[in-house]
Structure formats: C-alpha cells, structure tokens
Amino acid sequence: MSDKLDQFRAEIRQWIAANAPSDWRAAATHEDFVASQRGWFRKLADAEYAVPHWPAEWPGGGRSLAEQKVIYEELAKADTPRLLLSFVSTYHAAATLMECASAEQRDHYLPRILQGETWCQGFSEPNAGSDLAAIRTKAERRGDTYVVSGQKIWSTMAQYADMCLLLVRTSTEKAKQAGITFLLMDMKLPGVTVRPIHQIQGDEEFAEIFLDEVEIPVSQRVGEEGAGWAVAQATLASERGLTLMELSYRMRGAMRLLTGEVAGTGLADDRGVLRDLGALCTRVDAVSALADRFLQKRMDDDEQIGDASIVKLAYSRCLRAWADLGVNLSGLSGQMHTPITFGDLNSGNWMADFMNSYAWTIAGGSDEVQRNIIAERMLGMPREPKTWMVEAGQ
C-alpha cells in the first residue's frame, strides 16, 4: 500500500507542477477571484481530483481516505488556491443530496455540481446563529408550493451561488427542532435578494439573503416536512477531517513568510524574535501532528467524539498566534495596506491575515462550543455547577 501511495503522490506532484496557477493571489477584483476559482475547480474536476471523497461512480470519487490525504497534502504544500467558491457545493450540498435527497434530486443536481454549479448555505439568521433551532424564516405551504419569507445572514459567497441549502420553519406548534424543513432553493427565483457584507479588510466573503414571498416547489424539499433538523446534521457533519489537515499543512508551509520577515534584517539577531519564531514553529508542527493523528484515527475507525473539536480548537488558536506574530514582525508597513484576500488564510498580507484569523475562532463551531464538547463529551464534566459550588457562592 505504501508503494502505491508513493506512486500516487508522485503523480499528484507532477500534475500540480504542470497545472497549478502561480499568480492566483494577484486577483484584484471579486470578479477576478470568481473566475480564478471556477477555472481551478474545472482543472481539478477534469483531472478527477476535485471530489475524491465522493462515491466511486463519480469521476475521481471512491478514493481511500489515505489517497484523499495525499491529494490535499500536496495541494496544500504547493500553495494552490483553496476551493472556497465550491466548498459548500462539493461538501455540504453533496453530502445532503447523497444521504438525504430523493433519487431524482441526486440525479439532477450532483452532475451540475461537478460541472461547476455553486451552492450556498441559508442556515444562520440575525437571531439564530449558534442556535439554529431558533430560525424564524417562515415557509407556508400552498398546494404544491412553499411560499417563503425571512432573512438569512453570514451565507458564504451567496452572491455567486446558483442554489441554496435553505432551512425554513413550517410549524411553531411542536418543539423548535420539529418545525424545521429543508429546501433546495434556486437563487434566481423572484423575491430572492442577496446583499454582500462588506468586511473590515475589504472582503465580501459573506452575504445576507432576503426572501420575500419566494415560491419554492414542494418537489425541492429534502426529506419530510418537519424533518429538516435531521437533514441539517448530515449537512454540517461533512466538512471536518481533511479540511483541518489541509489547513494545518497550509499554515506550516506559510512559516516561510514569517522567516522572510526576519531574514536579512536586524530581527535575525534579536533573541526575543528568534524565541517567538521557534515557539510558533513548534506549535504549528504540533497542530499538524494533531490533525494527522485525527485523520489516522478516522482511517482506523477509531475516531472518538471530541477528537475533531481538539484539532479545530488547536488550529484556530495557533492561527491567531501565527497572524499576530506576522503583524509584529512586519512593523508599520504590515499595517498600512490590507488588500482584498477573499478569505484566503496565511497570505502574508499581515493585517488581513490577522483579522481573518479571528473569524476562525467562530467558523466551523466557535472555540467556546469546542471547549464545551471536549469538557462534557470527552472528559465527562457536568453541564450544571455542582450543588456545593452553588451553596458556597462559587
């Protein structure tokens, strides 16, 4: 197996060397970014490297987890573009369709995703972020149509999406989770308005979606009415594992950007700087090792509840430290210009990296949520304070 993996790795490296874009960070507008993302996805799809996690009946699908790891390792090491525009499509939407949708829905949408159709996620609302069960976007059934009104927020790249995974409320008479329904919505339908959210560093990675009497056919429902909560769990469970490993490898590769700030300057003789750089190198290597160990446990079918939370928490905190040191080493020049980075991490645009790093303490489950999962589900700590602590006023 090792020889086959080595051969596969050599094949991937050769393909990347011949096909990876070298100037992808030079995109000056959002339109340039979108074109670059679509072109890179098309190349990967044509080479059958875009969806190795899909079943074997799809081009490039059916790869073992070890082979998937090789693909993402090599893409990360070569600093190729992350597939930001198609991430929801190939992971969240694909997992939802494969696990929960009808055969007709799968046959209709999955080939379109592989051809480059982009999806966004309409889950969070202004008053329902971490508590998705509190959504209020209303869907009223009228014959063979749901009429939907409400608002979604923090939808990644919704302004470029063709389709949306949409959670709506179809009942308020039962428990909050029981009244949620899952719909597939065409973003071009009348009544759909998308407004990009302009971020502090110039990005427009997220958007708001306003829904005004949008008519969605009942045939676009996934699962039964009121079963949307269970469908959403399949959606949200699809992104961990390889993503964490890829991100940790990208951060390790980007250590060269930090050493570049030190090389050839007076900082190279500063013991404090060398101490901080050495400590961060050790920390980045540790996060990569954690991610590798987590993926190996998944390959060995030994993954435990909370393992992914440990890696996610370690990565988000380390990313903050990485960007913070970059800002400090770059001095005033690193704070003067914050070009658009389109959510790119470890770019060497230090102030943009610094601000983007804070988003990762929330994205994919906040640090606080990860700590709760580790404490309660791995360590067995109680949710409620013990009686003696309450009585003692602690």
CATH at residue 355: 1.20.140.10
pLDDT value of position 23: 80
Number of domains in the chain: 3
DSSP 220-259: GEESSTT-HHHHHHHHHTTSSSHHHHHHHHHHHHTHHHHH
pLDDT value of position 390: 46
Residues 77 and 157 in one domain: no
pLDDT value of position 343: 65
Band the pLDDT of 356: cuts 50, 70, 90. Answer: confident
Residue 387 above 60 pLDDT? no
289-to-251, 293, 328 alpha-carbon distances in Å: 12, 6, 26
Helix (H) or strand (E) holding 139: strand 138-142
Q: Where are the beta strands (DSSP E) in 145-301?
A: 145-156, 163-169, 180-186, 192-197, 206-217, 221-222
pLDDT digits (tens, 9 = 90+) for 127-162: 876 677 889 999 999 999 999 999 999 999 999 999
Residues 257 and 207 in one domain: no
Residues spanned by the domain of 258: 242-378
**Which has the minimum average pLDDT: 77-81, 290-294, 339-343, 362-366?**
339-343
Strands 180-186 and 163-169 turn out to be antiparallel
Residues 258 and 331 in one domain: yes
**Which has the minimum average pLDDT: 166-170, 219-223, 318-322, 368-372?**
368-372
**Better-predicted residue by pLDDT, 364 or 210:** 210
The pTM of this model reads 0.85
Instruction: Choose the catalytic residue: 239, 246, 303, 384.
Output: 239
pLDDT value of position 337: 59
Residues 69 and 142 in one domain: no
Domain boundary among 61, 83, 105: 83
DSSP 52-100: TTS-TTSTT----HHHHHHHHHHHHHTTPPP--TTHIIIIIIHHHHHHH
**Whole-number percent of the chain with pLDDT over 70:** 93
- Whether 41 is in a domain gets the answer yes
Residues 30 and 67 in one domain: yes
Rounded Cα distance, 228 and 139, in Å? 12
Rounded Cα distance, 382 and 97, in Å? 37
- How far is CA 173 from its chain centroid? 34
Residues 143 and 259 in one domain: no
**Better-predicted residue by pLDDT, 157 or 298:** 157
Residues 249 and 349 in one domain: yes
**Whole-number percent of the chain with pLDDT over 90:** 56
- Whether 111 is in a domain gets the answer no
Taking residues 42-49, what's their average pLDDT? 96
**Better-predicted residue by pLDDT, 363 or 186:** 186
Residues 219 and 252 in one domain: no
CATH at residue 187: 2.40.110.10
- Whether 236 is in a domain gets the answer no
Residues 270 and 345 in one domain: yes
Taking residues 52-62, what's their average pLDDT? 93
Q: Which two tokens stand for residue 212?
A: 């005004």
- Whether 94 is in a domain gets the answer no
Domain boundary among 36, 66, 83: 83
Residue 20 above 60 pLDDT? yes
- Whether 353 is in a domain gets the answer yes
Band the pLDDT of 389: cuts 50, 70, 90. Answer: very low
Band the pLDDT of 388: cuts 50, 70, 90. Answer: very low
Band the pLDDT of 57: cuts 50, 70, 90. Answer: very high
- Whether 138 is in a domain gets the answer yes
Taking residues 43-65, what's their average pLDDT? 94
| Amino acid (one-letter) located at 246 | E
Residues 276 and 362 in one domain: yes
Taking residues 22-45, what's their average pLDDT? 87
- Whether 88 is in a domain gets the answer no
Band the pLDDT of 240: cuts 50, 70, 90. Answer: low
Name residue, tokens 């592989």: 114
pLDDT digits (tens, 9 = 90+) for 169-187: 999 887 888 899 999 999 9
pLDDT value of position 196: 94
- Whether 51 is in a domain gets the answer yes
What are the residue ranges of helices labelled H in 131-270? 228-236, 242-253, 255-262
Residues 291 and 346 in one domain: yes
**Better-predicted residue by pLDDT, 321 or 200:** 321
pLDDT digits (tens, 9 = 90+) for 243-278: 888 888 889 988 988 988 888 788 888 899 999 999
Rounded Cα distance, 32 and 308, in Å? 34
Residue 189 above 50 pLDDT? yes
Residues 216 and 185 in one domain: yes
- Answer yes or no: 31 catalytic: no
